[in-house]
Structures are given as structure tokens and as C-alpha cells.
A and B are shown apart, each in its own frame.
Chain A
Amino acid sequence: MSIATAPTALSGVLPESRVLTGSAASGWTGGMPAEAVVFPADTDEVQALVRAANETGTRLLPAGAGSWLGAGGWTRVGGVIVSTARLDSVLHYEPADLTLTAGAGLGWRKLAALLEPNGQWLPVDGPGVGVGTLGGAAACGVPGPLRARYGAVRDNVLGLEVVTGDGRLLRIGGRVVKNVAGYDLVRLFTGSRGSLGVITRVSVRLFPRPEADVTMVFEGGVEEVLEVARVVRASPLPVAAAELVVRGAGVADGEAELAVRVLGGREEAEDVCSRLVAGIGAAPGGTMRGGESEVFHRRRIEWEGRLPLVVRLAALPGQLAATMEWARGVAGWTGGEVAGDVFGGVVRVKGSPGDDGAAELAETLTRVRREMEAAGGTMTLSQAPREVAARVGWTGAGGGGGGLAEKLKSLFDPRPVLQSRCP
């Protein structure tokens, strides 16, 4: 499929006004190669596109707002991007049921604004979700620190409508909070990153916004702050989330900060905070309450923009000190930041490595992956310069399942037309 013919292969399916090509397309993707970006307006159009792509052998990449394309190296071959941005209507929202069904393209900010007046939210705080779409969050399935309290994305996705790679329309799961009818295909598609189908609708479970939202920030040397994190993690008190960040010069100097978030009734939250402080034996450097705390975390999930390098290190939370050490080793090459989820054990490194250090960076990454795998963890490149990724590999040996993943991919996308491979 040449660049010139790809859009033609799908022409007639959508009006021209909803097809971007050339510089308009690469403008939308932020410079990533794309033969076209298309914007279907309903599920039928998505299905028609996927079927046409199957007939013509056109490669597709499902997308939401396009905020995190190129992750995992899936888009290296260009192709046609199918954005759900126009599938953004709210189909069902009954506040008293605490459930919502909406088009996959519903923007996160719009969603939050809709829930706010009813004192509700979708407590998903994966990196970057705040600038993407609901469908993108479901497709990526990346949890953030709030998972400790509310579960991961997959625990709160109740149902999906998807057009599979071979053009089948599936409505799986439902919109009730407990449902065990049939095999759990919702879990399979959540986190499948556009490799099995285009998600067109999402049903989620919502939560009441807690009365109190308090964030305490502890600062100090990395060792010191890690010790505070250890105390917080071992405490039976209900902490909603805790994240440890090493920033800028701190990577070399070993300066860090720990944000501990407590959610609940007012009386409960204040009690938990004062008991945590007593247990830690030191007062926080700062405490944010209510809107201030919310804004702090919202900024955090909208965070980094398109950084060239994002690495994800996952191990058990008890290994956090070691994982942070590995992460700092990587960050040292990039001038970047390190953020560790205290309860989840996942540590992210992000930064902008210079061109010169690529070989050393790749070497460090390879060593870190080897050491982490030996310790039972994994290291994944989320974004990386082509050269680095080529040397290191996006994912390591992990994953498991002995061929099951490949079989599932070919079950739903046999040709295949979807560019993404198994994540």
C-alpha cells in the first residue's frame, strides 16, 4: 500500500470532509507518519471502514484524540488512523446507578465536567488519561496510583462495543456492576491497545466523589522518602494513593518527594492524616486540601506532553527501593523524571535523551531489563527514539501465556489490518 493509494482504498466510505491527508494528517498526529486520519461519525461507519480495509489490505490504527500514538512502536509503518473523536456522545447516564455509557471518543475533560455536578467521578489516574478519550483510556488500560483504592481501569469498565479487526460488531459485557454471563471478553479488549479492534462505546462504573481530598507531600533525600513510603505502605490505614517522584537535579542529588493522597469523609480523612503523620514521625512539607489537591493530581495525569522517552518498570511494591534505583539509573541518561506508584510497584521514567548518548542509554536499558527480569519484574519501553528501541526491544521476555496472545490476535484480526501487535 503506497501513501498515495491508501486513502483512495477507503474513499467513498466517509465524506472527504472527515478525511485528513498529507500535512493535515501529520499535523494531527504530531509528526508521526500517517497516510490519512479519518473520523467516522458512528459505529456503522467504523465497521464500513474496517471492512473496506480488509478488502483492500489497508493497515489501520485505532485512535482516540491521538495524544499517545506511537507508543510501543506500533505505528512505525504509517497506515490510516481511525480516530473516534466524533463518537463522543453520552448514550446513558443515570447518576443514581453510578454507571455511564458513552462513545469511545468522549474527551476525558468533557466526561469529568459532566460528572462533577453530580458529585461523581471515574477515579482512573493513569498517566496522560486526562488529555485523551474514554475509549483511549480503556484501550490503554494503564492504571495510576489510585488503583490502590478504586481498582485498575479494567475493574471499572463494565461493557464495550467494538468493531473487531475482521469487521465484526460486538457488544460485550453490559452496564450493570456485577455480570458473569459468558467469558469476560471485556477484560481481553480493555488494555488491548487497538490490536484487536476499534472500541466504539464504553460503559463504566462511577464513584461518588469523596467529601474530603487531602494530599500530604513529604520531601527529602531518596532514602529518607523511601522509608516514609515504606511506612505508608505498611500502614493498615486507608490511603487512596501514594506516589514518589524524583525530579530534575534530584536524580543526581537524590532529592525526592512523596505525595500521599487520602480520600473519604472529612472526619475520617483528617484522622487518617494525623495518624499517618504520627506513624511516620515527621510532618509533611505541605498539605493540600479539596480543590488544591484535585488540581495537583489532575496536573499530574496531564503531565508530560510528548516526551521522546518513557520507560515503565514494574515489580512488586516491596521491591520499590530497588526499582527506584534502576529507574534513576535510566533517568541519569535522560535528564528526566522518575515517578513510582508506592502501592502498585510501577515506576515510570520519562525524559528527553540527547542524540549522542543513545548507545549508552540502550546499554543501560538492556542491563536494567535483564536485572529486573531476574528479580521477577518487567521493563517496557512506552515511547523511545527509534534507534534506542531497535537496540533494546519494546518489551522483554515477559507476558507469558505461551502463544495464547498470538492466537487471540489472529482470532479477531486474522488478516491482520490493525497495525498494533500484541502489546
Chain B
Amino acid sequence: MIPDTLAKSLVKICGQSAVIVDEDRLLVYESDALTAYRHRPGAVVLPRTTAQVQGAVTAIARHGLPIVPRGAGTGLSGGAVALDGAVVVGTARMNRILAIDVANRRAVLQPGVINAELSAAARPHGLYYAPDPSSQTACTIGGNVAENSGGPHCLKYGVTSRYVTGLTVVLPDGSVAKLGGQGRDAPGYDLVGLFVGSEGCFGIATEIEVGLLPLPEGVRTLLGIFDRIEDAGRAVSDIVSAGLLPAAMEIIDGPTIRAVEDSVFAAGYPTDAEAALVIEFDGVEAGLDAEAERAAEFCKRAGAREVRSARDEHERMALWKGRKKAFGAMGRIAPDLLVQDATVPRTTLPSILKGISEIGKRYDLVVANVFHAGDGNLHPNILFDRRDEDELERVERASKEIMQLCVDSGGTITGEHGVGLDKKHHMPLIYGPAELDAMWGVRRVFDPAATMNPGKVLPEETAPGWPVEGDARETGEPMATVGAAP
């Protein structure tokens, strides 16, 4: 519930239909794709323009309420969850592509544009937007900017921050800042780079300039089938160290394969295999076959029992199907799914995968791995039933051990899903007080009054005097209660 006066000003700024205060309609905004964290927002406002965002932010801040930016709500770290009756500023209506500048290979767009729609709009010009999160048919570019999202093809092409060249941002105090733009070569600090990945804590991006790439001429897709997941991990590491640079390398492990094959998404992967490795090369036609052959050879040498290759787009889609539908399939075999996200050095993949499988066995849990292997970005997902309290506790302990294992190998606690609400208590695993304090400092530069998405990213206990006095803000639940499959 928000004060009437605020509701009235929001209506005045954005229009009647853009303001949601009805309790039932607010339910939809209770969580993101990590459904364990549920908090109903005080209200939702859906502006259409930078000026409306500015007006809304100013009005909400004047009432002393916190603000949570929100894109499509596909986030997997609870970033768009509205704590403490915060008002959600959603970008659903800011979904216009403002310009596709073919000559300069860039686009200017509103933040609510869906990732896949940008590529679709660029395609007739022979261009596309490279970062391709698996959620790309649903997630927004604004959400991608806030999370610095990756995707399967980021192995060759890099993640979101490489492609964002300019931002118009409404800061928490209601002012508008233009960062970068016209190609990001202006002198000064890289404020665009600093804003990307700030998880909605620095302000609301209301206009985004991104770089586009020419569509590759040819694609070759392979599927290696392995009896041991470590072997698939070794194949990845061997391919990379041999100097090949595939566009994507993704691993789907045995439990995931079986989940997929048991579901309506059956992709024809052998159910007795312990890993499937999808490898894709793209570029000019010349030389592609040779690269694919070399990669196939590395798979066989690492112990692949079979390597399939796609001869046309139809077969290519079939090889990818198991990867693309993995999350959906897992959601069907267990009531709850804990989606993990950590990055490790590539060479440690075989030993980490083995370690994860041992941890799963020790806690008698099903851990299903499906991940961006080429980047060493793991998603060890734990399937469970939260009504089973004993299991819930084992999930919590196993997940902590897995995280620690990844960190000890020289890795990090999140490669692409962000910290949000879910992982803020893991931040001290990788950063000491000095680093956390520096991050608090930067956050305060953008948001001195703690208005924007408070309770996310940084653990409160690391910042004396934060949150502001008298604020008994809820700081999220322990991670094991993380819930239903996205």
C-alpha cells in the first residue's frame, strides 16, 4: 500500500492505466524467476518515457519509499523483488526501438525492449545483437544491462558490457545523466561500464545505445556424447587451449539429459550418457568445416563415444534443443529447483565437476548441471522438494559447499545471474571488508539516500550505519528456501 497522495501523483505523471495498486494485480510482481523470495510491492508504475520515469522517481522518493526497477522479471537472483513495500518502476511500456543505425552498427532503444526482438529488428539489415541469454525471448535489454548478462555465444563475443556504448539514466534523486553515447569514446571515467551490472542500485536506465554485429555467414554445430562428465570438461579445455575459438560450448549433464528426454522436450540425446557437449562455430564458410572437424577430434580423444553434427538448420535446432529446454524440463521433475551460478577457471572444470557430483552424492541430492562450459560458467542446479525439511537443510549445506569449492579454485560466486537478494551473503566469500566498503561508497555516490533497490547486492552487516537508522528492513531469507523452477 502506498499513500493516496503518491498514487494520485503517479497517475498524474504516467496515466491511470500505468499505476497498479490493486493487491491482486500486484501479485504478479511478487517475485522474479527465483520464486522463493516473494514480497508484494507497495505499487507498480509503468512509465513510457524518460520524463515519466523522472517524475515517478521524484514523487516516490519524496514520499521516502524505496524504488525497484523491473524489466521482465526473469532474473535469477531476486534482484527485482520489492522489499519493504517498495514501489516497482517497470519498463514494460518502454519497449520502443528508437533507431537502428546501420552505418554505425548500433541501435538506440528503450530499456523494456525484449532481447530477441532487438535481434529480430536488426536482422533485415544483416545485423544482430550478440549477447544471447537463454531467456532472450523474455528478458529485457534493461535487465541485461543491470545484470551484465551473458549467454551461450558470449564465449566468442563477450558479455553485455562490451556492447553497451551509451546510457541515459534517471538517478535516484530524479536527475537525468547521460553516460557515454555516440560510441563510448568520450574522455572520462567509464561510467557506462560502471553502471552495467549495477543491478538496479544506481538508477534506472531509460535509454540504451548498443553495438550490433553483422550476422555470421555460416554455422557448424556439433554434439559430443560422453560417458563421463569430466571427459566433456576436458574436451572443452583442450579445444580452447588448442587455439580454437568456438562461438559456444555448452554442457548438459546426465541428470539433465534424462530430465529432458523424459519430458515433452525430448531431443534424442542418449539417456545413458553422462554428458552432452554442444559446440558451435560461426563465421565465413571457408575453414568452418576444418574447425569443426578438429573440435570433433578433440572430443573423441577426450573419450566421446559419439559426435553428431548438424547438416542443416533443422538438425542444428535439434542438437540445441536439449540445452535450450533444460530448465523447463528440470522444472517438471522436481517441485523445487535451486539454480546456481558460479565461474571457475576453465582448466579446473573436470575436477570441479567431479567435486560437485561428490557433494551431491554425500548429501543424497540430485544435482543437474547445464552450463556455459567454454567460459567456465557453471550452473549446478539442485532438485528438491521444499516440503521435506531434512532435504531442505541438505540443499543449503550442499549449495554452500559447492560455492566454496568454486571460490577455492580461483572462481567467483556469480558469472551472470547477479548477486541480488540471493547471494549478497556470499559476497564475503570473495571480497574483504575493504572491497565491500568501496562498493558501498560507489553505491552512495549514485544513491546517497538509499532509495534505489535497497537490500540488494551488498550485505548490510558490512556497512556500519546502513540502512538508515530506524529501518528494520527485511534482508531476505536463507538461500535454501529458494524455490520453484523458473
A172–B438 Cα gap in the complex (Å)?
A: 10
Output the least CB separation between A101 and chain B (Å): 10
Q: Kindly provide the distance from the CB of B450 to the nearest chain A CB, expressed in whole angstroms.
A: 15
> A208 interface residue, CB < 8 Å from B?
yes
Instruction: Please state if A180 and B215 are interface contacts (CB–CB under 8 Å).
Output: no
CB of B347 within 8 A of CB of A182, answer: no
Interface string of A163-204 (1 = CB under 8 A from B): 010001111101111111111110110111000000000000
C-alpha gap A234/B188 in the complex (Å): 29
A178 x B431 contact (CB < 8 A): no
A185 touches B148 (CB 8 A): no
Within residues 138 to 186 of chain A, which ones have a CB less than 8 A from any CB in chain B? Answer: 141, 151-152, 154-155, 164, 168-172, 174-185
Among B103, B189, B202, B377, the one with the most A-chain Cβ atoms within 10 Å of its Cβ is B189
**A377 contact set on B, CB distance < 8 A:** 182
Chain A residue numbers with a CB within 8 Å of B423 are 181
Pick the contact of A208: B147, B243, B437 (CB < 8 A). Answer: B243
Number of interface residues of B (CB under 8 A): 92
Are B435 and A171 in touch, CB under 8 angstroms?
yes
Tell me which residues across on chain B come within 8 A of A187, comparing CB atoms. 161, 190, 193-194, 196
Cβ contact within 8 Å between B193 and A183: no
Among A8-16, A242-250, A350-358, A402-410, the stretch in contact with B: A402-410
How many interface contacts (CB-CB < 8 Å) are there between A and B? Answer: 247
A314 at the interface (CB under 8 A from B): yes
Q: Are A180 and B414 in contact (CB under 8 A)?
A: yes
CB-based contact A400/B240 at 8 Å: no
B47 contacts partner chain A, Cβ-Cβ < 8 Å: no
State A238–B413 Cα separation when bound (angstroms): 34
Tell me if A371 is interfacial: C-beta within 8 Å of chain B. no
Our pick among A191, A210, A271 for the contact of B189 (Cβ within 8 Å) is A191
> Which A residues between 112 and 158 are near B, CB-CB below 8 angstroms?
119, 141, 151-152, 154-155
Given contacts A182-B457, A264-B287, A271-B287, contact A170 B161 (CB under 8 A): no
Which residues of A sit under 8 angstroms from B344, Cβ to Cβ?
176
Chain B interface mostly helix, strand, loop or mixed? loop
**B347 in contact with A97 (CB, 8 Å):** yes
Q: Which of B150, B191, B430 contacts A401 (CB 8 A)?
A: B191
Decide: A399 and B187 in contact? CB cutoff 8 A: yes
User: Does B417 reach chain A (CB closer than 8 Å)?
Assistant: yes
Contact: B343 with A344, CB < 8 Å? no
A181 to B425, CA, bound (A): 11
Pair A141/B190 contact, Cβ less than 8 Å? yes
CA distance A192 to B201 in the complex (A): 22
Question: Per-residue CB proximity of B375-391 to A under 8 Å, as 1/0?
Answer: 11100000000000000
Residues of B within 8 A of A305 (CB): none
- B225-253 near A? 1/0 per residue, CB < 8 Å: 00000000000010011111100000000
- How far does the Cβ of B187 sit from chain A's closest Cβ, in whole Å? 5
Interface assignment of A110: CB less than 8 Å from any CB of chain B = no
A411 contacts B412, C-beta separation under 8 Å: no
B265 within 8 A of A: no
Q: How far is the CA of A265 from the CA of B293 in the complex (A)?
A: 13
Given A151-B158, A318-B104, are A267 and B286 neighbors across the interface (CB < 8 Å)? yes
Contact of B345 with A175 in the complex, beta carbons under 8 Å: yes
Chain B proximity of A312: nearest CB distance (Å)? 8
Across the interface, which residues of A come within 8 angstroms of B415, CB to CB? 176, 178-180
| CB neighbours of A317 from chain B (8 A) | 103-105, 183
CB distance from A133 to the nearest CB of B (A): 20
User: Once the chains are docked, how many angstroms separate the CA of A192 from the CA of B191?
Assistant: 11
User: Are A181 and B435 in contact (CB-based, < 8 A)?
Assistant: no
* Given A178-B376, A181-B413, A344-B185, A190 and B427 contact (CB-CB distance below 8 Å): no
Taking CB atoms, residues of chain A closer than 8 Å to B177 are 400-402, 404
Q: Does A209 contact B (CB under 8 A)?
A: yes
CA distance A401 to B195 in the complex (A): 11
Query: Are the C-beta atoms of A423 and B188 separated by less than 8 Å?
Result: yes
Given contacts A175-B410, A237-B284, A405-B191, contact A180 B445 (CB under 8 A): no
When the two chains form their complex, are residues B245 and A271 in contact, meaning their CB atoms are under 8 A apart?
no
Q: Which residue of A lies closest to B126 (CB)?
A: A236
What residues of chain B lie closer than 8 Å to A152, measured between beta carbons? 162
Please encode chain A, from 363 to 387, with 1 for each CB lying within 8 Å of some chain B CB and 0 for all others.
0000000000000111010000000
Per-position contact with A for B424-448: 1 when CB-CB < 8 Å, else 0? Answer: 0001001110111111011101100
Q: A359 at the A/B interface (Cβ < 8 Å)?
A: no
> Are the C-beta atoms of A96 and B290 separated by less than 8 Å?
no
Q: Check if B193 sits within 8 Å of A188, measured CB to CB.
A: yes
Residue in B183, B437, B445 with the greatest tally of chain A CB atoms within 10 Å: B183
Q: Do residues B178 and A400 form an inter-chain contact, with CB atoms below 8 A?
A: yes
B223 at the interface (CB under 8 A from A): no
B376 touching A398 by the CB < 8 A rule?
A: no
User: In the bound complex, do residue A179 and residue B445 qualify as a contact, i.e. CB atoms below 8 Å apart?
Assistant: no
A95 within 8 A of B: yes
Supposing A175-B345, A236-B214 touch, asked if A188 and B182 sit within 8 A by C-beta, the answer is no
Query: Which residue of chain A lies nearest to B417 when distances are taken between CB atoms in the complex?
Result: A180
CB atoms of A314 and B183 under 8 A apart: yes
A315 within 8 A of B: yes
Given that A185-B438, A191-B189, A318-B103 are known contacts, is A178 also in contact with B416, CB under 8 Å in the complex? yes
CA distance A211 to B244 in the complex (A): 10
- Whether, in the assembled complex, B30 has its beta carbon less than 8 Å from a beta carbon of chain A, the answer is no
Interface hub of A316, A380, A411, A423 (most chain B Cβ within 10 A): A316
Query: CB distance A188 to B185 under 8 Å?
Result: no
- CB-defined contacts of B271 to chain A, threshold 8 Å: none
- Per-residue CB proximity of A275-318 to B under 8 Å, as 1/0? 10000000000000000000000000000000000000011111
Which residue of A has the minimal Cβ distance to B341?
Answer: A180
B322 at the interface (CB under 8 A from A): no
Give bound CA distance, A179 to B341, whole Å. 10
How distant is A238 from chain B, measured CB to nearest CB, in Å? 6
A416 within 8 A of B: no
A180 close to B147 (CB less than 8 A): yes
Residue A339, interface by CB 8 Å: no
B410: A residues at CB distance < 8 A? 174-176
**Which of B103, B106, B181, B438 lies in contact with A170, CB distance below 8 A?**
B438
Residue pair B186, A400 in contact (C-beta under 8 Å): yes
Q: Told that A184-B198, A185-B438, A192-B189 touch, could you supply 7 new A-B pairs with CB distance under 8 A?
A: A95-B241, A180-B415, A184-B196, A236-B126, A237-B284, A395-B188, A398-B186
21 contacts between A and B (CB under 8 A): A97-B346, A154-B190, A154-B193, A178-B377, A181-B414, A182-B431, A184-B198, A187-B193, A188-B189, A208-B240, A209-B243, A267-B287, A318-B101, A318-B103, A345-B104, A395-B188, A398-B186, A399-B186, A400-B188, A404-B189, A404-B446
Q: Which 3 A-B pairs have the closest CB atoms?
A: A187-B193, A208-B243, A271-B286
Q: Report A's interface with B, CB cutoff 8 A.
A: 94-99, 119, 141, 151-152, 154-155, 164, 168-172, 174-185, 187-188, 190-192, 207-211, 234-238, 264-268, 270-272, 275, 314-318, 344-346, 376-378, 380, 395, 398-402, 404-405, 407-408, 411-412, 422-423
* B residues neighboring A (CB under 8 Å): 101, 103-106, 126, 147-148, 150, 154, 158-159, 161-162, 171, 175, 177-183, 185-191, 193-194, 196-198, 201-202, 214-215, 217, 237, 240-245, 283-288, 290-291, 343-347, 372, 375-377, 410-419, 423, 427, 430-432, 434-439, 441-443, 445-446, 457-458
